[in-house]
Amino acid sequence: MKEARLMRKYNHKHVVKILGVAVHEHPLMLVMEVCPNGSLLSYLRKNKGSTPLSEKLRFSTEASDGLAYLEKKLCIHRDIAARNCLLGAKYEIKIADFGMSDDKVIVHDDTLEKARLPCGSVPVKWLAPETLQDKIYSLKTDVWSYGVLVWEIYADGAEPYPGLTRLQTRAKIVVQNYRMEMPKDTPKSVADIVYSCWEKDPARRPEMSRIFRMLREIGERSRSGN
């Protein structure tokens, strides 16, 4: 019911809409808007090597628009990733899967190691250093995860930190302060935004609203040929 309660508050073109709840079934069933083109992750992998940079920028911008809206609503999503972005009828981004979300300013989750995805693993490769180390989630940990999402988009749906296990990834991020390089075809202006999302100090990471404005401006300049 918590997921339904949260989602009822939200109304944005880049956030999946809840249409109702089937309370007479067990478990409870949420009725969502139809997103006929599936997950962003599947789309990226299916179209590997053929997704234009303009579309990758659009995906990144639309995701930041939806997340800026959630930020304004003080919603910590906690599971931002390409697998949790759906594509609508016009291939527009819809932020989905609010199963781990909360409407608190900061969440301290001692059950991190028990938080399971369908694949049976904690999403370590999308988590910020303070989450991995201190089990803290905030609006700024969502910003970190958004940076990983943009990496996924420009890497055609590849798994982040390729070649590293979850344990190795955790050690590289927390102990060695390691950051991935953005894929080679990523525009520098976009890569710089992603690197700012991966600042170790959460206070130095930009707000999602600022990220959206910057990406929108990059798109406008690109379309005008400047």
41-44: Cβ within 8 A, 24+ apart: 41/81, 41/82, 41/83, 41/85, 41/152, 41/157, 42/157, 43/87, 43/91, 43/157, 44/82, 44/152, 44/153, 44/156, 44/157
The answer to whether residue 58 sits within a structural domain is yes
* Phi (first) and psi of residue 22, to 5 degrees: -90, 95
- pTM summary value: 0.89
Is the model more confident about 100 or about 199?
A: 199
Provide the percentage of residues in the chain whose pLDDT is more than 70. Answer: 82
Bridge-based pairing of strands 106-108 and 29-32 is unpaired
In whole angstroms, what separates CA 122 from the centre of its chain? 15
Dist. CA 220–CA 176, nearest whole Å:
37
Query: Annotated catalytic residue: which of 65, 79, 142, 156?
Result: 79
Among 36-40, 95-99, 154-158, the least confident range: 95-99
Confidence grade of residue 225 (pLDDT, cut at 50, 70, 90): confident
The answer to whether residue 106 sits within a structural domain is yes
The answer to whether residue 4 sits within a structural domain is no
Provide the percentage of residues in the chain whose pLDDT is more than 90. Answer: 71
The answer to whether residue 21 sits within a structural domain is no
Average pLDDT across the chain, whole number:
89
- Total tally of structural domains belonging to the chain: 1
Question: Over 60: is that where the pLDDT of 30 sits?
Answer: yes
According to DSSP, residue 181 is labeled P
Which residue range(s) make up the domain with 99? 35-218
The answer to whether residue 212 sits within a structural domain is yes
The answer to whether residue 8 sits within a structural domain is no
Taking the alpha carbons at both ends of the chain, their separation in whole angstroms is 48
Longest dimension (CA), the chain: 56
**Structure confidence at residue 119 (pLDDT):** 39
What is the gyration radius of the CA atoms in the chain, in angstroms?
Answer: 17
- What's the average model confidence in pLDDT over 38-58? 98
Is 103 one of the annotated active-site residues of the chain?
no
Confidence grade of residue 103 (pLDDT, cut at 50, 70, 90): low
Question: Over 50: is that where the pLDDT of 134 sits?
Answer: yes
The answer to whether residue 168 sits within a structural domain is yes
What digits encode the pLDDT tens for the residues 113-130? 544 444 345 799 999 999
Confidence grade of residue 11 (pLDDT, cut at 50, 70, 90): confident
What CATH number corresponds to the domain at position 207? 1.10.510.10
The answer to whether residue 122 sits within a structural domain is yes
**Structure confidence at residue 117 (pLDDT):** 43
